[in-house]
Amino acid sequence: MNLQTTYLGLPLAHPVIASASPLSATFDGIRRLEDAGAAAIVTASIYEEEVAADTAAREAFGTAGADSNPEVTSYRPPHTGSPGALAAHLELIRRAAASISVPLIASLNGVTREGWTGIATELQAAGAAAIELDLFHLPFDPNESSAEVERRLADTAHAVCAAVRIPVAVKLFPYLTAPAHLAAALEAAGARGLVLFNRYIEPDIDLEGLNFRPTLDLSTPAEIRLPLMWIAMLAGRTPLCLAGGRGVAGPDEVVKYLLAGADVVQTASALLRHGAEYIGRLVEGLTEWIEARGASSAAEIRGRMRANRFAEPESLFRAHYRQMLLLGHPAQPGPEHPT
């Protein structure tokens, strides 16, 4: 069985990669993911705000009480060579990249232009094989049009792509007016891949304390549908690599993403639920599904269900909806259209 694929120009043994999660936040965790058979590993995100907050806290620790009474010059113990969270993260990338044989993709969640490009450059220097830009953006400004939102995202991608040599993937949030247009813009900006989608932390309201309570539950298989739809829509129409990255509960979802046209499938929830070793089960399940259908490679199934293979791709999903309501019959793919 040949499961090989290429993602962001990186040859991978199979399409299942570990996405950014607490599992890839430590050196041991990254090693464990490699041992479990991940084809590539996306590190836990470095958040620019976190770097800034850590710096501020360290600065406060260094200055709190410093020189404020004659017995104390500072309360901070000496910790030479520790410039903070970013340095620690870079050191993690350096060590991990040097010790694993699969590609290490560094996830980055910036805020400022300098943050995006500066940290990206440092991630590259630390040995990351690629960068995944987690373009997490809340378009709450009523004066900012959807076109401006998209332009800003593309500008960010452009700035980062111009700053680094290694390939850059962009992880998008799902609520966009024109994802296909944005995909083209990101491609023009120099991105090599799209990861669909990241998940908002959708905080709940604590009725007792009248606070927003951050919640982030592990994803469920139902969540696959939105990214699945967009991968199916984009596959074959964009030269960008596509990564499906939500709702993977088991091998079925891996297969679905590949059928829709994804080059790779990212998973965190399944691994957090079952442990890193579950990657083996996902790959095994994918192999079984392909084998059961008499095929011998992942390439043979990739994109079989992408939209532009259907007769009326643009109306496919609307039709699909109508049929479900009226007939209960799912649409069937027609003969493959040239892309």
Partner 1 sequence: MARKRTVDGNTAVADIAYRVNDVCAIFPITPSSPMAELADQWSAEGRTNLWGTIPVVQEMQAEGGAAGAVHGSLQGGALTTTFTASQGLLLMIPNMFKIAGELTPCVFHVAARSVATQALSIFGDHSDVMAARATGFALLGAASVQEAQDLALVAQAAALEARVPFIHFMDGFRTSHELNTVEPLPNATLRAMVDDDLVRAHRRRALSPERPVVRGTAHNPDTFFQAREAANPYYLATPGIVQRAMDRLAALTGRRYGLFRYNGHPDAERVAVVIGSAADTLRATAAHLNERGERVGVVQVLLFRPWSAADFLAALPASACRIAVLDRTKEPGAPAEPLCLDVARTLGEAVARGDRRQLPLIVGGRYGLSSKEFDPAMAKAVFDHLATQNPHSGFTVGIVDDVCHTSLPVNTAFDIEPPGIHRALFFGLGADGTVGANKNSVKILAEDPDRHAQGYFVYDSHKSGAETISHLRFGNAPIGAPYLLKSADFIGVHKFDFLEKRDVLAAAGPGAVVLINAPYDAGSVWDRLPRPAQRQIVERNLRLFVIDASGLAQCLGLGPRVNTILQACFFAISGVLPREEGIRRIRRSIEETYGDKGKAILDMNFAAVEAAVAQLHEVKVPTAVSSTQELQVFVPKDAPEQLKRIAALQFAGRGDEIPVSAMPPDGSFFGATTQYEKRNVAFAVPVWKPDLCIQCGQCSVVCPHSVIRAKAYDAALLESAPPGFPSAPVNARGYPDKRFTLQIAVEDCTGCGICIDHCPARNPLEPGVKAINFAERLPLVEAGRRQLAFFESLPEHRREQVDLHLSRGLQFIQPLFEFSGACAGCGETPYLKLLSQLFGDRLQIANATGCSSIYSGNLPSLPWRAGPDGRGPAWSNSLFEDNAEFGLGMRLAIDQQTVIARELMRMLAERIGPKLAGEILTAPQRTDSEIALQRGRVDALRRVLGDPADAPARDLLAVAEYLLRRSLWIVGGDGWAYDIGAGGLDHVLAQDRDVNILVLDTEVYSNTGGQASKATPLAATAKFAAAGKRTPRKDLAPQAIAYGYVYVAQVALGGGAEQTIQALRDAEAYDGPSLVLAYSHCIAHGFDLRDGIKQQHRAVASGYWPLFRYDPRLRKSDMNPFRLDSTRPRLPLEEFAYRELRYRVLAQTRPDEARALLGQAQAAVDERYRLYEDMAARDGTRFHPYWQDPAVTQEKIAKESIR
Q: Which residues contact partner 1 by CB under 8 A?
A: 26-28, 51-52, 54-61, 63-88, 91-92, 112, 114-115, 118, 209-211
- In angstroms, give the least distance from the CB of 207 to partner 1: 10
Residue 50 or 300: the one with the smaller Cβ distance to partner 1 is 50
Residue 34 or 54: the one with the smaller Cβ distance to partner 1 is 54
Q: How far apart are CA 48 and CA 200, in angstroms?
A: 17
- In angstroms, give the least distance from the CB of 122 to partner 1: 12
Eight-class DSSP state of 173 = P
- In angstroms, give the least distance from the CB of 74 to partner 1: 7
Residue 64 or 216: the one with the smaller Cβ distance to partner 1 is 64
Residue 67 or 143: the one with the smaller Cβ distance to partner 1 is 67
HSE-CB at 141 with a 13 A cutoff on CA atoms is 9
- In angstroms, give the least distance from the CB of 82 to partner 1: 4
User: Could you tell me which residues come within 8 angstroms of residue 144 by beta carbon, excluding any fewer than 6 positions away?
Assistant: 152
Eight-class DSSP state of 195 = E
Task: Confirm if 201 and 227 have CB atoms less than 8 A apart.
Answer: no
- What DSSP letter does each residue of 82-110 carry, written as one string? ---HHHHHHHHHHHHHHH-SS-EEEEEE-
- In angstroms, give the least distance from the CB of 159 to partner 1: 15
- In angstroms, give the least distance from the CB of 120 to partner 1: 14
Task: Confirm if 6 and 68 have CB atoms less than 8 A apart.
Answer: no
Task: Confirm if 153 and 184 have CB atoms less than 8 A apart.
Answer: no
- Cα distances from 251 to residues 32, 187, 280, 307, in angstroms, run 20, 30, 10, 22
Residue 210 or 327: the one with the smaller Cβ distance to partner 1 is 210
- In angstroms, give the least distance from the CB of 269 to partner 1: 20
Residue 54 or 223: the one with the smaller Cβ distance to partner 1 is 54
Residue 81 or 335: the one with the smaller Cβ distance to partner 1 is 81
Strands 204-206 and 211-213: antiparallel
Residues 305, 222, 182: CA angle, nearest 5 degrees: 60
